[in-house]
Structure 1
């Protein structure tokens, strides 16, 4: 995907929109990012009145306008929408962040810290292991485990978040 400067692959653009919206649900992407990604969807050949309206939003007003337009725009392109703040939105955001650590876009420790700061203890069951691991990072000097052991455990937890049926 080359975005603003040329050809945009349709599947890549849809995947990017799914990821940006998921991260927006949990405060890890800006509404303006969604507007830019909507433009990429248009360049990729997708169309729809709500998608066009979303792509036309001024980034200056994105925080106010994107929440009003997003559901219909996602419907235009066949992507799922969840109300921000719902468990489904949080889980979608958690999956996007887990994918980022598995792709190397963030470190395991960063994912654990983010999960702890975002969800805390006892809030989102699928994030609980990451939250616990963040606590362990804080006390690793007093444990038999190493930072590398904790990193491996975070990666295992991230894989489980993305593929719950594969968890042992």
Structure 2
């Protein structure tokens, strides 16, 4: 999982601030990042919840990655992208993604199509689970492209 994905999952409360700190440590071990990443990686578990939101904008700029704040539509959409990556890696099933998306987005914003597919799983009016899984995977590929 990339640093961007860990941050995106933190934005939607699927990862903890300490996970972001550990991902920053991984960047340093890989020889990536600069001073901002080093400051983030140096945080203790006790400091993480308070300091990660403060340091993250600078870290993301340093890594030339998009930065979004928690609670914003853009932040939730970045989280959706990272959750879709988890489906591609097999860490999450298509059905689990639709349930999560329905809770996170309802039928609005970027997640509306996956929320509709969640309803389809619930009603099973037309499609089989396999057909719905295929539709979810098509949406996952669109989101992650």
Do Structure 1 and Structure 2 share a fold, with TM-score over 0.5?
yes
CA deviation map 1:119-160 (0-9, x unaligned): 1122x1x210100111111111xx231111111111111112
Conserved 8 A contact 2:107-2:113: no
- 8 Å Cα contact 2:99-2:115 kept in structure 1: yes
SS across alignment from 1:52: helix
Name 2:82's counterpart in structure 1: 96
**Which position in structure 2 is the counterpart of 1:31?**
17
TM-score (norm 2): 0.91
The change in CA–CA distance for 1:146 and 1:45 in structure 2 (over 3 A counts) is: same
CA RMSD of aligned residues (A): 1.5
Cα separation, 1, equivalents of 2:69 and 2:12: 11
1:70 offset after TM fit, Å? 0.8
Deviation, structure 1 residue 57: 0.8
- The residue matched to 1:28 in structure 2 has which SS? coil
Residue 52 (str. 1) matches residue 38 (str. 2):
yes
1:158 maps to 140
> 1:65-104 alignment to 2 at 5 Å?
65-104=51-90
- Matched residues in 2 for 1:132 and 1:58: separation? 42
TM-score, length basis structure 1:
0.80
Of structures 1 and 2, the larger Rg is shown by: 1
CA contact (8 A) 2:34 2:62 kept: yes
- How far residue 49 of structure 1 moved from its aligned partner, in angstroms, is 2.4
Q: Secondary structure at the match of 2:2?
A: helix
Shift in Å at residue 80 of structure 1? 2.0
Alignment partner of 2:128 out of 139, 146, 149: 146
1:19 is displaced (CA, Å) by 0.9
Gaps of 5+ in 2: none
Secondary structure class of the residue paired with 2:101: helix
Superposition deviation, residue 64 in structure 1: 1.3
Number of residue-to-residue matches in the alignment? 145
